[in-house]
């Protein structure tokens, strides 16, 4: 058989080492969120590595920073670094956002009164905005990533990974609304495009938000985004 055990392909965000979970039958994503010493330490280590990486990257440029430097700066062994992040870039790019809760998910699919846009916007913006608590780090990371093409590429990839999830949600919503894939073969394409539209608009709204001084609340952000989309899709330039 010789099955490849190269599972952790690129960016893991999970525990550094779950190999000993023998009797963890099918615990899957049963994240242990208790406030235990071990968990606190893990979070601290992860954060410490991230900070070191970004600070060094900002000071010397990502290309000129070695993993060894990051490890020294964060007092951790190289092996541990890779246990946490899998690859060098992992320490630079944004952490995986927490997925919407089961309730948020359900609410969106059943669409209680909200439009697809409204629901999707809510979902995406909570996912993308509210997760970040450390503004300082967030901004530093943002600066570094946007001045380093290779990192920007990774970041985009990570984002589109998340977007795939929303595509799935939209399909569920469509199905809930009675639209089936058999009847509309382009349904999946449609979902993809809707996500691209919303997150595209949102991305630039966010950029504005980040460039400004993080004023503006969610409502006005949504307002801006909606207007932009309206304007674009409503007007001239279509065949």
Residues at the interface with a copy of itself (CB under 8 A)? 4, 6, 9-10, 61, 63-64, 115-118, 149-150, 153, 156-157, 160, 186, 188-190, 192-194, 196-197, 200-201, 204-205, 226, 228-234, 236-239
Smallest distance, Å, CB 12 to a copy of itself?
13
Residue of 164, 158, 38 whose CA lies nearest to 92: 158
* Residues 187, 179 contacting (CB under 8 angstroms): yes
CB of 25 to DNA, least distance (A): 12
Task: Compute the least distance from the CB of residue 2 to DNA, in Å.
Answer: 12
Which helix or strand (DSSP H or E) is residue 194 part of? Answer: helix 187-211
Identity of the residue, 43 or 150, whose beta carbon is nearer to a copy of itself in the bound complex:
150
- Name which of DNA, a copy of itself, none residue 186 binds, using a CB cut-off of 5 to 8 Å depending on partner kind: a copy of itself
Q: Which residues does 130 contact at the CB level (< 8 Å), separation at least 6? A: none
Residue 195 burial by CB count (10 A; 0-12/13-18/19+): exposed, middle or buried?
A: buried
- Choice between 33 and 113, CB closer to a copy of itself: 113
> By C-beta, is 18 or 131 nearer to DNA?
18
Alpha helices in 99-186 (DSSP H): 102-110, 116-125, 135-145, 149-176
Q: Which is closer to DNA, CB of 70 or CB of 124?
A: 70
Task: Select from DNA, a copy of itself, none the partner in contact with residue 20, using the beta carbon and a kind-dependent cut-off of 5 to 8 Å.
Answer: DNA
- Please say which residue, 39 or 87, places its beta carbon nearer to a copy of itself: 87
Angle between helices 135-145 and 37-60 (to 10 degrees): 40
What is the contact surface with DNA in residues (CB under 7 A)?
5-6, 8, 15-24, 36-39, 41-42, 45, 65-68, 75-80, 82-84, 86-89
C-alpha 37, offset from chain centre: 26
Q: How many CA atoms lie within 13 A of 68 on its CB side?
A: 1
């Amino acid at each position: 058989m010789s099955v490849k055990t190269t599972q952790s392909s690129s960016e893991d965000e999970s525990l550094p080492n779950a190999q000993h979970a023998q009797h963890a039958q099918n615990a899957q994503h049963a994240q242990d969120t208790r406030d235990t010493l071990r968990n606190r330490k893990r979070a601290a280590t992860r954060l410490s590595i991230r900070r070191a990486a970004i600070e060094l990257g900002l000071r010397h440029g990502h290309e000129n920073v070695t993993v060894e430097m990051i490890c020294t700066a964060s007092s951790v062994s190289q092996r541990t670094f890779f246990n946490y992040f899998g690859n060098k870039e992992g320490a630079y790019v944004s952490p995986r956002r927490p997925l919407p809760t089961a309730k948020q998910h359900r609410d969106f699919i059943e669409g209680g009164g909200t439009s697809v846009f409204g629901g999707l916007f809510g979902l995406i913006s909570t996912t993308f905005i509210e997760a970040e608590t450390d503004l300082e780090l967030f901004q530093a990371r943002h600066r570094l990533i946007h001045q380093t093409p290779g990192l920007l590429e990774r970041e985009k990839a990570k984002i589109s990974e998340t977007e795939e999830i929303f595509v799935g949600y939209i399909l569920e919503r469509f199905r809930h609304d009675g639209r089936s894939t058999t009847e509309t073969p382009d349904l999946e394409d449609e979902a993809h495009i809707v996500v691209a539209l919303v997150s595209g608009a949102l991305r630039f709204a966010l950029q504005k938000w980040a460039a400004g001084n993080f004023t503006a609340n969610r409502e006005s952000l949504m307002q801006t985004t909606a207007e932009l989309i309206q304007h674009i899709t409503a007007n001239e330039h279509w065949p």
